Chains A and B, each alone.
Chain A
Amino acid sequence: MSAQDCRKTRPRLAELALGGGDAAAAPAAVQAHLAVCPACRREFKVLRAGVAGVRDAEPPAVDEALMRRQIAAATRGQTGEIEGSPLAWWMWRPVALTAAAGVLILVGLGLWWGTGRTTPAAQAGLPVLVEGELQAGDITMRPGASVRLDQLLEAPLDVDAKVRLADGSAFRATGGTRFTIKHAAGARVTLAAGRVDVIARKQRPDSTLAVATTEGEARVVGTRFSVARRERDGSGVTTVAVAEGAVQVTGHSDGKVRVLRRGESIILGVQQPQSAPVVAASRPAPASTVARPARIPDIRTRIRQGRVQEGRALIEQARLQMPVRALDLAELAMTEAEVELAEGRQASAIERYLDVVARYPRTTQAEQALFAAAQLSVNRAPRDCARLLDRYLKDYPRGRFTEDVRRLQRALEQRRQAPASGPGAPPARAP
């Protein structure tokens, strides 16, 4: 068996999986290789499961009421084709506030609007949808459409909407965001839930772009910034993060006006038992709630100190400020698992760790997460633990935890041979 054998075998495995996944139907050479190569055997298993997944994928359930409306619309010929959309009137439905809010990540701000095209709508002073989709009541807007004012707008869950304002400023509402644009002096975006990233033109003194939420308001001073809002347990949290320039932020609870500069962020609306605001700095908080960028060590400090709520808030904040490196995201995802652990929810911690493994493969975090998940399942699910350990050794033959993994394997093996001998395995601990 050689690496070359594997390279030759892999595409054939895909073919086999496509054909229904019967290993016995494979050519003799492939069968021979599979017999000696555990890596390819696993690959085959994964591919087979993947093809089966595509074949058997089940759509999210449709509720009876929606189905009835759909059928009625189709048979009555009420196509409601407005502005190029065939869905129109029957589609409007409330979307859970928390659905996409807060869990979205800043992706390449500034990438998407190089195009300085002006449309008739923009000339008329109306905002224009540049990309994506927006839903306003029963109307779906497509790129090029002028955006209605004073109306609740919603970006579909998996599509970002990019809106250009008459003054050339633009913002991007991530999927699931709900907001309203009002024309006062300067545009005002009222954010109900979700997140908007703004790139603003330098503003005239009398015309200021602002993003407002229940908790506060962020006003442009010529800049790039993000505002996110999410609700949890009935109360809202707004986060403002500045990527460039400066933003003037007003918190509604204290009426304070602060200027945030590049790299700074603030969380509005977090109720703390003590009156001290949440700040990301590890030293004593200054009088203002303006925070330094949230750092992962700070998050961990909070978790260690049992200030889990603050930890969570900082995770949210970090999601807004962080550059989009997979490593940072993976590390952030690790802290989420740690929060679960800190609150004693082992099963969800395991899930979070496995999520890191699946979502950020080939990162050091994935390695750590895989080991952590294995450790946590030693007593709960020894079988899973054994498989995770096997996978660890396969993925990281010279990994950082190889020694520990072997030790765990031995412990599991001993326990299997002496089943009733009680807790012989080392206790699970967080990495």
Chain B
Amino acid sequence: MLAHAVAGDRVAQGEILRANHQYIRRLLHRLVGPTSELDDLQQTVLMRVVTGLPRLREEESLKTWIGGICVHVARDHIRRRQVRSVVGSLEADEPGRARTTAGNPVEQLEAREGLVRCRRALEELSASHRVALTLRIMGHSVDEIATMMGSARSTARLRLYYARKAFCRAFGADPGDAAALLSDGVENT
């Protein structure tokens, strides 16, 4: 089927896209975080897969190759977002909207807090560092990350090293120690 798809058979191409639709969506979502542009990003990837198929080298695994396309699209998206004004994004990433699966509200609260803080720490990173670290968190090997990001193995290693360092540094301070910061008077009942 892959050969058919590479040769331009639309039905075969469609089947490949269908088989990988959820994989692409999930990968994009994990790489960029919640965004209303997910459908757009996904469409971009699907189109690039189709136009790129003729160039697919045989020894490449299809999944990793598609993953690489996702990585590129996600990285571009993250770069664009970083340029965008902070004003708008403040609201867009409301922590309260993060989705969690645990049923218990307290656990949910903790998981949400963790997720929000991890996402914030990731957002502080450059697009490449962020993508590399997210892939690592998802369990990809350094080799896979290098392949997907189209970089040398040493570059991937280095990116991971700096990303990890910056990520951990973000948690150096105790988030709870400033509880009484606000002296601002507010009317309470």
Contact = CB atoms under 8 A, between A and B. Distances in A.
Interface of A: 3, 6-7, 10-15, 18, 39, 43, 45-55, 57-60, 62, 66-67, 70-77, 79, 85-87, 90-91, 104-105, 107-108, 111-112, 131-132, 140, 156-160, 174-175, 296-297, 300, 325, 327-328, 331, 350-351, 354-355, 357-359, 361-365, 367-368, 381, 384, 387-388, 391, 394-396, 431
Nearest to B90: A107
B135 to A, nearest CB: 10
Interface in B104-149: 104-119, 121-122, 133-134, 136-139
Nearest to A12: B168
B30 interface: yes
B114 A7 contact: no
Contact of A368 (B26, B87, B109, B188): B188
B29 A59 contact: yes
B15 to A, nearest CB: 9
A75 to B, nearest CB: 5
Interface string B161-183: 00010011111111110110110
B82 to A, nearest CB: 14
Contact of B116 (A70, A160, A358): A358
The listed residue with most B CB atoms (<10 A of its CB), out of A7, A57, A66, A327, is: A57
Contact of B184 (A6, A52, A72, A327): A327
A331 to B, nearest CB: 6
A50 B121 CA distance: 11
Contact of A53 (B88, B105, B118): B118
Contacts of A11: 168-169, 171-172
B119 A54 contact: yes
Contacts of B60: none
Nearest to A86: B44
A14 B14 contact: no
B10 to A, nearest CB: 5
B115 A53 contact: yes
Contacts of B46: 70-71, 73-74
Interface residues of B, number: 87
Contact of B47 (A47, A86, A359): A86
Interface of B: 10, 13-14, 17-18, 21-22, 25-26, 28-30, 33-40, 42-44, 46-47, 49-51, 84-85, 87-88, 90-96, 98-101, 104-119, 121-122, 133-134, 136-139, 164, 167-176, 178-179, 181-182, 184, 186-189
Nearest to B18: A71
B25 A62 contact: yes
B187 A296 contact: yes
B36 A159 contact: yes
B172 A50 contact: no
Contact of A364 (B44, B100, B188): B188
Contact of A46 (B26, B44, B113, B133): B113
B96 A358 contact: yes
B96 A355 contact: yes
Contact of B170 (A14, A112, A157, A296): A14
A156 B105 contact: no
B174 to A, nearest CB: 6
A396 B178 CA distance: 10
B24 to A, nearest CB: 10
6 contacts: A47-B117, A58-B99, A75-B17, A77-B51, A107-B88, A362-B181
